[in-house]
Amino acid sequence: MADKKKPTPKLDELEKGPWPSFVKEIKLSAETNVASQAVLGILERSYNEKIGHWKHGGIVGVKGYGGGIIGRYNDIPEDFPEIAEFHTLRVNQPAGWFYTSDALRTLCDIWEKHGSGLTNMHGSTGDIIFLGTTTEELEPTFNALTAAGFDLGGSGSAVRTPSACCGMARCEWACYDTMAVAHDITMTYQDELHRPAFPYKFKFKMSGCPNDCVASIARADMSIIGTWRDNIQVDKDAVAAYASSGKRDIAKDVVEKCPSKCMAWDGKTLHIDNSNCVRCMHCINVMPKALAPGKDRGATILVGSKAPIIEGALLSAVFIPFLKMEPPYEDLKELVHAMWELWAENGKNRERIGEFIQRIGLGNFLEQIGLEPVPEMISEPRSNPYIFYEVKKG
Amino acid sequence: MATETGKRITDIGPPYYEKFLPPIIKKNYGKWKYHEVLKPGVLMHVGESGDKLYSVRAAAPRLTSTKTIRLFAEIADQFSGGYLRYTSRNNIEFLLTDEKKIDPLIERLKKEGYPVGGIGPSITNIVHTQGWVHCHSAASDASGVVKAVMDELFPRFEKMDLPGKLRIAFACCLNMCGAVHCSDIAILAVHRTLPKINTQLLPKICEIPTTVSSCPTGAIRPKMVDGKQTVEIIEEQCMFCGNCFTVCPAMTLADAENDGLSIWVGGKVSNARHEPMFSKLAIPFIPNNPPRWPEVVAAVKNIVDVYAKNASKYERMGEWIERIGWPRFFKLTGIEFTKYHIDDFRHAGETYKRSLHLKHTPAEG
């Protein structure tokens, strides 16, 4: 039980209701861990005062790594000495977040021995988050993790832990092997992941199809999103079965909702003008038994998305309309290296690559990394005449 | 680590995922044919081989005790051969091959307090950040607001009765570790007052040039105070982004009276039908009211209910709003439109209405 001498009436209110309660979780850990008990206390205080009590700053880490640990201290250590230091470890998740029960128990054994027992499954970037331990315990925790086959993820101005949707492991729509690419990229860039050397963070996210289950287009400096070039695969009998069973109104639910109006339904046959299909996934999503992405599959490579800080939020922009995504992914890595070289040399402190591209101009960026501009990269050409012409002199 | 041979292990990367995949997935990897949603929270994937994989999705709190992870492990041993996965939205999925075990598993999860749902046209788990639990720059608590909102919206998790998917996300400051900016509904905690400069501490722990250049609007400039180099803020240029606090811990932003929450709507990341969209401002500010933030809960529920009643089949929040227009969105939801809704940051003019395409209604009476 949590310390009865320090009641938590406000937090107790959040044990009520049908949704799983994080307060119940903290209390579970608090039964056997004094740091978790203190977390309850300091959080109750925040609920009373409407203010947080955590500080950042101070460089903590494990030997030879520049990231993976987030230093955290509370600002009232006299009241909560048990969590005066309460650092986070980011542990690199296996691609697709698949586990065996034994693997989870191994992680629990390590974290109950060396830390608070509180976790996030998972953090926003995808890592397994070990929430709270002392500076002294960092190296022993790391050693226990690596002995068990786990390693730290990224933090700071580094490659951040790549994440992938479940892809081919459990989805018929996966247009490339997302988990294989995530693992390959993670292993290729271990140095860039563990030793921050960039202007700011760099994230990779792999989604297997345009449904984008890992929000790659909104959250990755490089978004690798599956798509296809040939025709949508159609099982005519299965389309008819959707129609006759009444499960789908083909005209209303499918044809009318098509954003490129490339479909027609005559009551018997579904016609698709694949040359005008924008690969949005809607028709496939609503008739998964009848339609499937084509067989000539690969990915679109987009660059530059981010949250607002500093210059405003961005979505990723198309760089390579279609790439086959075959191992060892040399074409992809060549692009990555060219981009990193330019950005590392010219990017400002805390300038994400998307902001850097906006600052110098996409046209200039492409020219400097040696990528030909193509109309798929823009929604429309410029409408202003302020062109920086480069006329040869003499 | 100091292993038995004395060598420290580094840069091994994550465990190779293949060893965590159940045999049915290894066998059907890349060869799945189609899937069906059998009932709320239960997916069936069918392979070209005819093999069937059942995934049972349960709500998990993002903040999880190792004791609960052990419980999930034990449940997986009992029902799914020890195989399970987490989703990109912090749900847990048990991967079954025996159809007969689905209902007993659902019962067991319910009994333990981890209900099953969140698939199809429903509200699934809210992705969120650390909040007051563990973050230095939080303007609110994340877990608490999420818990209170999901308690209220719970029937929409268990049922599939919405027009389309509805994805809610929470971030506790503008850094948006939860990248909420493309969600159907985003709850974003905000600071609204100037950073408080600790002039004694600042010269010791912050680099002045880095601090000055961290400000996107150039609101920070160097200043001498008592012979020490520190900084000052041009008040009217600060938009409370907190970037200076990230690089300089001596400029704290938290303010018990003035921090609170804003609500944004209509974003999406999927390409289905409409292209991906950012979320747009619906409610500029609601004060913090722990432990259950009733005003935030009511505001989110109102938006969800109005959407559920008015949107057509498959329409996401943003698609629905685009169809009916923003004036009608504000009218239907009863949300007040203010000057804060009008963008005044970079390229703000792009969002001004510059046409006559307006949906007028006849004068009343």
Q: Where are chain B's structural domains?
A: 17-112, 131-192+256-351, 196-238+246-252
In this prediction, residue B97 carries a pLDDT of 98
By Cβ distance, the residue of A46, A52, A280 closest to B273 is A280
pLDDT at B153 over 60: yes
Closest CA to A284 of B50, B314, B310: B314
Say yes or no: A64 contacts chain B, CB-CB below 8 A: yes
The sign one gets for the Cα dihedral A184, A185, A188, A190 is negative
Among A116-120, A385-389, B262-266, B346-350, which stretch is predicted with the lowest mean pLDDT? B346-350
Q: Are residues A319 and A365 in the same domain?
A: yes
Residues 183-202 of B with CB under 8 A from A: none
In this prediction, residue B2 carries a pLDDT of 47
Q: Specify the CATH class of B131-192+256-351 in words.
A: alpha beta
pLDDT at B320 over 60: yes
pLDDT at A52 over 80: yes
The rounded distance, in Å, linking the Cα atoms of B232 and B254 is: 18
pLDDT in tens, A143-188: 999 999 999 999 999 999 999 999 999 999 999 999 999 999 999 9
CATH of B17-112, one of 3.40.50.150, 3.30.70.3340, 1.10.1240.10, 3.40.190.10: 3.30.70.3340
Residue A310's identity, in one-letter code, is I
Q: Is residue A383 part of a domain?
A: no
Q: Are residues A326 and A218 in the same domain?
A: yes
Best of A24, A63, A121, A195 to mutate (most B CBs within 10 Å, chain B)? A121
Average pLDDT over residues B36-55: 98
Average pLDDT over residues A226-240: 97
SS3 B130: coil
In this prediction, residue A90 carries a pLDDT of 98
Contact A191, A208 (CB under 8 A): no
CA distance B230 to chain A (A): 18
CATH code of domain B196-238+246-252: 3.30.70.20
Best of A11, A13, A22 to mutate (most B CBs within 10 Å, chain B)? A22
Say yes or no: B350 contacts chain A, CB-CB below 8 A: no
Domain termination site, one of A147, A171, A204? A147
Q: Are residues A239 and A190 in the same domain?
A: no
Q: A144: which 2 tokens?
A: 């226990």
Q: Provide, as residue numbers in chain A, all residues whose Cβ is less than 8 Å from the Cβ of B62.
A: 22, 120-122
Rounded to the nearest integer, the mean pLDDT of chain B is 95
In this prediction, residue B289 carries a pLDDT of 98
pLDDT at B353 over 90: yes
Q: Is residue A120 part of a domain?
A: yes
Q: Provide, as residue numbers in chain A, all residues whose Cβ is less than 8 Å from the Cβ of B73.
A: 101-102, 104-105, 108
Q: Are residues A130 and A176 in the same domain?
A: no
Say yes or no: A120 contacts chain B, CB-CB below 8 A: yes
By Cβ distance, the residue of B11, B77, B147 closest to A14 is B147
Q: Kindly tell me the number of DSSP H helices and DSSP E strands found in chain B.
A: 10, 14
Q: Are residues A180 and A64 in the same domain?
A: no
Q: Provide, as residue numbers in chain A, all residues whose Cβ is less than 8 Å from the Cβ of B271.
A: 210-212, 217, 278-281
pLDDT at B121 over 80: yes
Q: How many Cβ atoms from other residues are within 10 Å of residue A238's Cβ? A: 15
The sign one gets for the Cα dihedral A199, A200, A206, A211 is negative
Whether the bond into B291 is cis, omega within 30 of 0: yes
By Cβ distance, the residue of B143, B242, B290 closest to A50 is B290
Partner-chain contact A183 B14, CB within 8 Å: yes
Q: What strands, in cross-sheet order, belong to the sheet with B92-96? A: A98-100, B83-86, B92-96, B52-58, B42-47, B32-39
Q: Is residue A109 part of a domain?
A: yes
Say yes or no: A135 contacts chain B, CB-CB below 8 A: no
Q: Are residues A117 and A186 in the same domain?
A: no
Share above pLDDT 90 across residues of chain A, in percent, rounded to a whole number: 96
Residue A214's identity, in one-letter code, is V
pLDDT at A220 over 90: yes
The rounded distance, in Å, linking the Cα atoms of B204 and A375 is: 52
Best of A40, A48, A51 to mutate (most B CBs within 10 Å, chain B)? A51
Confidence bin at B179 (pLDDT 50/70/90): confident
Report the domain count for chain A: 3
Contact B144, B291 (CB under 8 A): yes
Domain termination site, one of A85, A118, A147? A147
Please enumerate in sequence order all residues whose Cβ is within 8 A of that of B123, keeping only pairs 6 or more positions apart, or say none.
B150, B153, B156, B157, B162, B166, B167, B168, B304
> Does this chain's domain B17-112 share its CATH topology with B131-192+256-351?
no
CA distance B40 to chain A (A): 16
Partner-chain contact A43 B132, CB within 8 Å: yes
Residue B358's identity, in one-letter code, is L
Residues 200-219 of B with CB under 8 A from A: 205, 210, 213-214, 216
Confidence bin at A115 (pLDDT 50/70/90): very high
Average pLDDT over residues B322-345: 97
CA distance A25 to chain B (A): 5
Q: Provide, as residue numbers in chain B, all residues whose Cβ is less than 8 Å from the Cβ of A121.
A: 60, 62, 64, 69, 86, 90, 92
Confidence bin at B364 (pLDDT 50/70/90): confident
Say yes or no: B131 contacts chain A, CB-CB below 8 A: yes
State whether ipTM is beyond 0.90.
yes
pLDDT at A1 over 50: no
Which residue is closest to B13 within chain A, CA to CA?
Answer: A151
Q: Is residue A344 part of a domain?
A: yes
In this prediction, residue A59 carries a pLDDT of 82
Q: How many Cβ atoms from other residues are within 10 Å of residue B222's Cβ? A: 12
CA torsion A118-A121-A126-A130 (nearest 10°) is: 20
Which residues span the domain enclosing A286?
233-292
Q: Provide, as residue numbers in chain A, all residues whose Cβ is less than 8 Å from the Cβ of B129.
A: 124
Confidence bin at B1 (pLDDT 50/70/90): very low
DSSP letter for A234, please.
E
Residues 90-109 of B with CB under 8 A from A: 90, 92, 95
The rounded distance, in Å, linking the Cα atoms of A296 and A229 is: 6
Domain termination site, one of A147, A179, A209? A147
In this prediction, residue A3 carries a pLDDT of 52
Average pLDDT over residues A185-214: 98
Say yes or no: B235 contacts chain A, CB-CB below 8 A: no
Rounded to the nearest integer, the mean pLDDT of chain A is 96
Q: Provide, as residue numbers in chain A, all residues whose Cβ is less than 8 Å from the Cβ of B7.
A: none
Average pLDDT over residues A88-95: 98
The rounded distance, in Å, linking the Cα atoms of B106 and B57 is: 9
CATH number at residue A309: 3.30.413.10
Q: Are residues A204 and A143 in the same domain?
A: no
Q: Are residues A349 and A221 in the same domain?
A: yes
CATH number at residue A65: 3.30.70.2500
Q: Provide, as residue numbers in chain B, all residues whose Cβ is less than 8 Å from the Cβ of A313.
A: 176, 181, 278
The rounded distance, in Å, linking the Cα atoms of A228 and A284 is: 13
What Å distances lie between residue B172 and B104, B156, B168, B241, CA to CA? 38, 24, 14, 12
CA distance A78 to chain B (A): 18
**Largest Cα–Cα distance in chain A?**
86
What Å distances lie between residue A328 and A155, A188, A193, B338, B365, CA to CA? 26, 10, 19, 53, 71
CA A186 to chain centre: 13
Q: Are residues A63 and A139 in the same domain?
A: yes
The rounded distance, in Å, linking the Cα atoms of A343 and A46 is: 41
By Cβ distance, the residue of B11, B53, B254 closest to A151 is B11
Provide the strand spans (E) within chain A.
Answer: 54-55, 69-70, 73-74, 88-91, 98-100, 118-121, 128-131, 163-164, 204-207, 222-228, 233-234, 263-265, 270-272, 291-292, 297-303, 317-323
pLDDT at B5 over 90: no
Half-sphere exposure of B254 (CA within 13 A, CB side): 24
Q: Is residue A279 part of a domain?
A: yes
Q: Is residue A382 part of a domain?
A: no
Q: Are residues A66 and A122 in the same domain?
A: yes
Q: Is residue A392 part of a domain?
A: no
Residues 354-393 of A with CB under 8 A from B: none
The rounded distance, in Å, linking the Cα atoms of A330 and A324 is: 11
In this prediction, residue A5 carries a pLDDT of 64
CATH number at residue A243: 3.30.70.20
What Å distances lie between residue B315 and A183, B164, B319, CA to CA? 35, 5, 6
Q: Provide, as residue numbers in chain A, all residues whose Cβ is less than 8 Å from the Cβ of B211.
A: none
pLDDT at B172 over 90: yes
Q: Are residues A19 and A86 in the same domain?
A: yes
Q: Are residues A202 and A339 in the same domain?
A: yes
pLDDT at A2 over 50: no
